[in-house]
């Protein structure tokens, strides 16, 4: 957003990357075939605090059979167990999505 973040110099990309921790549990647990050849990057615009990119759900669902859980969730999702202080109360509005649903998020790639 161009505003100062209060961290000083040297942290230019700290707020632009985030890890997705993915794991499987159980005897003989394995990822599905797409998980063994999945690209390891999601490009998405920054959203409100703690909100994960929607693209992660399709990626995870293609790589792993249910059950699935999201920790620190900002909303609920069908077929997922969601844990988070705001999971049950969060109701996204069009204003929430307005800046993140544009077809040209990365016009420089054309």
Domain residue spans in the chain? 39-105
Q: Phi and psi at residue 35, in whole multiples of 5°?
A: -70, -20
pLDDT of residue 33: 82
Label the pairing between strands 68-71 and 80-83.
parallel
| pLDDT given for residue 96 in this prediction | 54
What is the pLDDT tens value at each position of the chain, 110 positions in all?
A: 566 666 666 666 666 677 888 888 888 777 888 777 877 788 887 777 777 888 888 888 888 888 899 988 888 888 899 888 877 776 666 555 555 544 454 555 55
Would you state the torsion angle of the CA atoms of residues 90, 95, 100, 101, taken in this order, to the nearest 10 degrees? 110
* The model's pTM: 0.63
- What's the confidence (pLDDT) of residue 31? 80
Nearest-angstrom CA–CA distance, 103 and 37: 26
């Amino acid at each position: 957003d161009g505003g100062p973040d209060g961290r000083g110099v040297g942290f230019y990309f700290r707020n632009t990357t985030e890890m997705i921790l993915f794991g499987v549990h159980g005897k003989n647990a394995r990822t599905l075939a797409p998980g063994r050849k999945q690209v390891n990057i999601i490009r998405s615009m920054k959203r409100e605090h703690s909100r994960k990119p929607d693209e992660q759900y399709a990626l995870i669902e293609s790589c792993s059979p249910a059950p699935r859980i999201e920790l620190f969730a900002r909303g609920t999702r069908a077929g997922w167990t969601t844990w988070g202080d705001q999971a049950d109360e969060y109701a996204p509005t069009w204003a929430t999505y307005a800046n993140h649903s544009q077809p040209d998020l990365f016009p420089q790639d054309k």
